[in-house]
């Protein structure tokens, strides 16, 4: 099962790379990543005799994958042929060997998707079909994260629809208390997945999943490039937003200078 899932991810991301080379835009890899984690997690679950606990885990990873994958795919399609700034920068770094380096990058994403789906392999292999405290808490935490992230994305979409200026700053709803509430709730979702997996034998080994996601959001692909782009576009207004508003965890805003 594990080998089949790993090969599946390698094939999917190789095909995604070919597509992206053809359309000259590597941004779709983000949507493929979200969809493939969900598909891999579901594969682990449905290849075992299903019980209510496993069905619940399957529903949670399905909802996460479908919501995020659709959100990313829609945004990427809307901006195409413009490419995400992260990949534009990588093109500059990898000048002269762009396609080959991106192929390795896509294979890395395949490995990432496989590893992040492993909590669901352990849930699927759990011989105890009964819900316990950890699986119930994990499911509830995940639902809180899914709800919060959905609300944050809808609030931002509604704001952009009414105020399309690239210099405007959303301070409504959850965005009043965090500069990146969507990232915060994404981290909450993965903590929920981990707590759910804790109810299964060896579930504690998947602590790397929320740790990786949170690290990426805080230090790599999440807040740093988003903030750099926002400061470049919005200038001093965004710097004031940085001074008054928590970067991640929703907290009461500080008074403006």
Whether residue 256 has pLDDT greater than 90? no
| pTM across the whole model | 0.93
Whether residue 257 has pLDDT greater than 80? no
Query: Given the structure tokens 């359309």, which residue do they identify?
Result: 23
Cα separation, 177 vs 252, whole angstroms? 6
Kindly state the DSSP code that residue 173 receives in the 8-state scheme: G
> Region 105-125: what's the mean pLDDT?
97
Nearest 5°: CA angle at 109, between 103 and 114?
130
> Region 71-96: what's the mean pLDDT?
93
Binned at pLDDT 50, 70 and 90, residue 156 comes out as very high
Tokens of 213: 């996601």
> Region 54-61: what's the mean pLDDT?
97
- Mean pLDDT is lowest, of 104-108, 125-129, 134-138, 170-174, for 125-129
Instruction: Tell me the per-residue pLDDT of 188-242, one tens digit each, with 9 for 90 and over.
Output: 999 999 999 999 999 999 999 999 999 999 999 899 999 998 999 999 999 999 9
- In 3-state terms, what secondary structure has residue 156? helix
């Amino acid at each position: 099962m594990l080998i089949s899932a790993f090969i599946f991810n390698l094939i999917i991301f190789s095909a995604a790379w070919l597509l992206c080379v053809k359309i000259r835009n590597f941004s779709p890899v983000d949507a493929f990543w979200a969809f493939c984690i969900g598909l891999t997690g579901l594969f682990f679950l449905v290849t075992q005799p299903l019980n209510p606990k496993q069905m619940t885990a399957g529903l949670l990873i399905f909802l996460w994958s479908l919501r995020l994958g659709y959100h990313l795919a829609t945004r990427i399609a809307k901006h195409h042929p413009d490419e995400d700034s992260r990949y534009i920068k990588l093109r500059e770094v990898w000048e002269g060997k762009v396609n080959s380096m991106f192929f390795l990058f896509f294979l890395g994403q395949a490995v990432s998707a496989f590893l992040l789906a492993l909590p669901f392999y352990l849930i699927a292999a759990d011989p105890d079909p009964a819900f316990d405290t950890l699986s119930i808490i994990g499911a509830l935490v995940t639902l809180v994260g899914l709800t919060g992230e959905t609300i944050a994305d809808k609030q931002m979409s509604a704001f952009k629809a009414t105020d399309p200026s690239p210099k405007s700053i959303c301070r409504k709803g959850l965005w009043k208390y965090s500069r990146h509430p969507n990232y915060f709730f994404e981290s909450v979702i993965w903590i929920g997945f981990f707590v759910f997996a804790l109810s299964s034998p060896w579930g504690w080994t998947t602590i790397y999943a929320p740790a990786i996601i949170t690290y990426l959001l805080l230090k790599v692909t999440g807040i740093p490039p988003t903030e750099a782009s926002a400061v470049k576009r919005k200038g001093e207004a965004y710097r004031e937003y940085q001074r008054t508003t928590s970067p991640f965890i929703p907290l009461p805003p500080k008074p403006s200078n």
